[in-house]
Structure 1
Amino acid sequence: MAVVHFSTDQRQHTGGISAVTVNAANVRELVRQLSALYPSLNAHLVETSSTAVAIDGEIIPDPWLEALTETSEVYLVRPLAGG
């Protein structure tokens, strides 16, 4: 099962939980399961549609169908802005 790590600002939507284990075949399924567990997190991710997904230390440009393994470490990252 993949371990999903939440940023500090995402934790307000998870009741303070910093990580959760999810059994999902790909990122799309993972997001669906997270949405069911934490409905306000789903709204947060939709509002910040530029959220990047990092799997095992690599940011995936188009992550929705990216396969997950039992040992995947997933981070939902808000990109840095600036100039």
Structure 2
Amino acid sequence: MRLDHCYSMTAHVIFSSELQKFTGVREATVQAEDYRSLVIEITDRYEGLSAADIEDMSVAINGEIIVEPMLEKIDHGSEVHFLYRIEGG
């Protein structure tokens, strides 16, 4: 019987220079099995960040920008980048 679904996956999170003002670090390792749990982990760890701040940003997982990330699974070893959205004018 496989039990690996019971364990959180480790993701490597890279913060933009703007987010580094809140986190104090450029990178962090986070235990999360999906995007939602990753956001919870980050906002619990870094009090200056709110879920609303994070959810307003674009996210790239393993180099792919995810438009609707809330239910996105995070594989072990994934690299997650938070980016400010670029608005067209």
After TM superposition, the score normalised by the length of structure 1 is 0.87
Task: Specify every segment of 5 or more residues in structure 1 that has no aligned partner in the other structure, as ranges.
Answer: none
Displacement of 1:70 in angstroms is 1.2
- Is 1:46 the equivalent of 2:52? yes
After TM superposition, the score normalised by the length of structure 2 is 0.81
Displacement of 1:11 in angstroms is 0.3
Aligned counterpart, 1:69: 75
Match of 2:20 among 7, 11, 20: 11
Q: 1:37 to 1:66 in 2, by over 3 A?
A: same
In structure 1, distance between residues paired with 2:75 and 2:41: 16
> What do residues 9-50 of structure 1 show as CA deviations (whole Å, max 9, x unaligned)?
0000012x00100010000000000010002122xx524753
Which structure 1 residue ranges, 4+ long, deviate > 2 Å from structure 2?
A: 47-50
Identity, % of aligned positions: 36
Structure index of larger Rg: 2
Task: Specify every segment of 5 or more residues in structure 2 that has no aligned partner in the other structure, as ranges.
Answer: 1-9
User: Number of residues paired by the alignment?
Assistant: 80
Displacement of 1:81 in angstroms is 2.6
